[in-house]
Structure 1
């Protein structure tokens, strides 16, 4: 077991340590989006305890998957000649049982890890892979006290449907589960420092706004470069990892990825989010059931999130784009098409008004993922809250203007934090026009909702707010980007 090279992942490491110390057989699932570090985490933590590893092949036939199994088994047994391909998954798992029995004898009762990676790809049509896995675990694996079976997959919705919420032979067989998410900002900071990359927190936020906290993306960063230089190389150079990542990302996760990409494209243009009915209309999807399935797949994979607006119920949820890289792609990479750009393209856009518009949206996206940190900075970490947006669209003869509030913290102590997120390269200045807009938001919110709760205005900015007449009048809670760490 090795933990020294693992950044962040404190909660996940606790789960893995419990698995390792368990006196019972363990069957655990790890799922999360592509490139988030599932495979690396398992290999780094368990190391030589992995006695057999099999990785599914994308869009391969049953015969190709079984050949892959035979090669993996030969490697695990140390045989230099290729083993005969099993005729079915049932036969493959029988071979695996015999191998594990001999391995348990050789290892003298030590823990053994069986690692099946990219499980959805192994389950090809009519292959009966799942039924063979069920039989293997129920008849053999669940009786081996020293066996740890770990299954991984990037197709989060498939993993939930067929493993986590399985209704057949695997029903209630899981002992642990981990949904691996991208790094938070403090985890990103730790990850970069371990790789010798020293950036200011402002630049770490800037990097996260373009790439998110996806470890594999962050691995492309090099020491001695600024965040803007890293983004230039990774996103805009012809050989940059993320220049052509978007299509691969969705196609590798979803069988019919066109609709998934249509929905995220819609959400990339709607900062305020869209309701389910709005998505149904704009995406021209004819069946509600199909949309439900696609939204679940996107949400479980971390590309979108649903939030229940203040005072509304679940069916009124707003969906918003939560993946920073997808937002960056639609804002900057997609408009270029196949056009080649000169080195320093992103560096030359630092004062571009379009960059400021994107940065505002991207910073909000980052902040919304760190609500727990914001609550701690406000001193209300232990106060029960419900978090969500609020929007008012005037109808009929209403004299009130339309209002969008990105984040409300509705607190159990009869208070509400109305949060505004602003990204800037220096202190943010509240001027007369913006002060009027803030007062308007508070007034409209009070009148429409009829709330009697105390309302605290909370500003989340990069470097704080300028001390002037308007900031003194509004007197907001003032959180800087350090609060996000």
Structure 2
């Protein structure tokens, strides 16, 4: 089987490494949706360090405590009591040595022994705080971690020294799974597979978008079932959530209209959306500067493409018409890539600002719409400057850009969001007659070429991980 190398997660690894170097006790909470890469991240960090990695399961507490003791024996060569996890941790702490303990799927330990968080709190205050033990509590039950472990009333509130909610990778990070592709095709593959490492592993090393789809659109492909599998594992009404996601993928982005399309009472749709937000699948977006008019958009592009395209191609695949399924997916792909591209611009604002492509610090940012007018992204430093950004998943000439900028300026005047200094930016998939990643038309109007700038931003991320500086960008 092909061994997939560890990709990116530079900042997350650095955060964990900083905790390891602390000359005192650490309590770190790491959580996130299933298959988002928690186990691989923690094992990568643990490599070469004295430590034990234990994954709990739905078993009686006595069995879990015994299993943990056995894991300590195998991985550290030490004996600890097999009767209680907290007592075993205190024994490890008494050695006065720096050691890492990862308790993965910690929610199962608490289900088996509900008093465990309170007892662990008491142990931290009286025993563990004086040690160099590095305790990591990890798991995939997002609601459990945010409410029962990290909530204000939770026993361990205030004891943690670090916490990390692991989310799907951004496109620039996920690009590491498809290094043979240029930025345009890398974003197309990201549109299909999303940012979850377990999904990206299925397209690792592809040389074309077609090859990626050929790997996915075959009988038995995990990605033809994964979206529904996640809903079935995590939710009580998977069919209802699937219909809601299909409605949003089809363009019903207003919550009430999406609910109506999905057969949900509009008064209850907020509950379903909150659950999908918790799973990092969907999110509500408000127009910047306005309190009303929320829309729904996908946070995870795999789920968008699945419910928009893949689910409708399953019958073709099952009938053996895989070539036809691939052609249909290719035909429809750019419609979905255009939506992902808009979100890419917003999620890449830190890098776009530091590279100079967006000359406004992203203190406030978000899309804007009102009465039929829309602006893909507005970025503001209140009372100083603002940038109004149009994202176009197209090949444009500078003449096209000038026309789009004129329209953008007209809309910006209607927003009430302009500042003393305003910049108008068009980010195109490709610019056909520009010579660099950023072209200044004048002091207030800018054209950005994604195909040229994305590699620069990728190197910026790499430089961050190495403590380097921002790469120079020629304008």
- Who is 2:69 aligned against? 73
Query: How far off is 1:269 after superposition?
Result: 2.8
Q: Distance in 1 between matches of 2:247 and 2:298?
A: 9
- Who is 2:423 aligned against? 456
Query: How far off is 1:150 after superposition?
Result: 1.0
Q: Which of the residues 327, 330, 337 maps onto 1:348? A: 327
Q: Which of the residues 335, 344, 351 maps onto 1:373? A: 351
Q: Distance in 2 between matches of 1:11 and 1:159?
A: 21
- Who is 1:422 aligned against? 392
Q: Residues 226-250 of structure 1, C-alpha deviation per residue, up to 9 Å, x if partnerless?
A: 23202320x2111222111011223
3-state SS of paired residue (1:449): coil
Q: Distance in 2 between matches of 1:388 and 1:143?
A: 47
3-state SS of paired residue (2:33): coil
Q: Distance in 1 between matches of 2:16 and 2:417?
A: 48
Query: How far off is 1:329 after superposition?
Result: 0.1
Q: Which of the residues 288, 301, 305 maps onto 1:324? A: 301
3-state SS of paired residue (1:167): coil
- Who is 2:103 aligned against? 116
Q: Distance in 2 between matches of 1:450 and 1:215?
A: 38
Q: Distance in 2 between matches of 1:430 and 1:220?
A: 38
How many residues align structurally?
436
CA contact (8 A) 1:93 1:136 kept: no
- Who is 1:215 aligned against? 197
- The answer to whether 1:186 aligns with 2:172 is yes
3-state SS of paired residue (1:19): helix
- The answer to whether 1:251 aligns with 2:236 is no
Q: Distance in 1 between matches of 2:18 and 2:327?
A: 50
What is the TM-score when the length of structure 2 is the normalising length?
0.78
Query: How far off is 1:42 after superposition?
Result: 1.0
Query: How far off is 1:321 after superposition?
Result: 1.3
3-state SS of paired residue (1:390): strand
After superposition, residues 59-458 of structure 1 pair within 5 angstroms as: 60=58, 62-63=59-60, 67-78=63-74, 94-103=83-92, 108-124=95-111, 127=112, 129-139=113-123, 143-144=127-128, 145-192=131-178, 197-223=179-205, 225-233=207-215, 235-270=216-251, 273-274=253-254, 294-313=272-291, 317-340=294-317, 341-345=320-324, 347-349=326-328, 352=331, 354-380=332-358, 383-393=361-371, 402-412=372-382, 414-424=384-394, 427-429=395-397, 439-440=406-407, 442-447=409-414, 449=416, 451=418, 455-458=422-425
Q: CA distance change for structure 1 residues 368 and 305 in 2, over 3 Å: closer, same or farther? A: farther
Query: How far off is 1:142 after superposition?
Result: 5.9
CA RMSD of aligned residues (A): 3.7
- Who is 1:83 aligned against? none
CA contact (8 A) 1:118 1:152 kept: yes
Q: Distance in 2 between matches of 1:121 and 1:278?
A: 39
Q: Distance in 2 between matches of 1:134 and 1:293?
A: 30
What is the TM-score when the length of structure 1 is the normalising length?
0.76
Q: CA distance change for structure 1 residues 101 and 456 in 2, over 3 Å: closer, same or farther? A: closer
Q: CA distance change for structure 1 residues 325 and 356 in 2, over 3 Å: closer, same or farther? A: same
CA contact (8 A) 2:149 2:155 kept: no
Q: CA distance change for structure 1 residues 227 and 50 in 2, over 3 Å: closer, same or farther? A: farther
Unmatched 5+ residue regions in structure 1? 80-91, 394-401
Q: Residues 60-83 of structure 1, C-alpha deviation per residue, up to 9 Å, x if partnerless?
A: 4x54x753553443343349xxxx
CA contact (8 A) 2:29 2:136 kept: yes
Q: Distance in 2 between matches of 1:155 and 1:226?
A: 36
- Who is 1:477 aligned against? 447
CA contact (8 A) 2:206 2:212 kept: no
Q: Distance in 1 between matches of 2:415 and 2:7?
A: 46
CA contact (8 A) 1:131 1:169 kept: no
After superposition, residues 1-20 of structure 1 pair within 5 angstroms as: 6-20=6-20
Query: How far off is 1:43 after superposition?
Result: 1.3
Q: CA distance change for structure 1 residues 404 and 287 in 2, over 3 Å: closer, same or farther? A: closer
Q: Distance in 2 between matches of 1:382 and 1:449?
A: 17
3-state SS of paired residue (1:152): strand
- Who is 2:468 aligned against? none
Q: Distance in 1 between matches of 2:82 and 2:74?
A: 18
Query: How far off is 1:332 after superposition?
Result: 1.5
Q: Residues 196-254 of structure 1, C-alpha deviation per residue, up to 9 Å, x if partnerless?
A: x5222222222111112222222223446323202320x21112221110112233334
Query: How far off is 1:450 after superposition?
Result: 8.1
3-state SS of paired residue (1:182): coil
3-state SS of paired residue (2:340): helix
3-state SS of paired residue (2:284): strand
Q: CA distance change for structure 1 residues 101 and 377 in 2, over 3 Å: closer, same or farther? A: closer
Q: CA distance change for structure 1 residues 378 and 18 in 2, over 3 Å: closer, same or farther? A: closer
Choose 405-414 or 163-172, whichever is displaced more.
Answer: 405-414
Unmatched 5+ residue regions in structure 2? 76-80, 435-439, 458-475
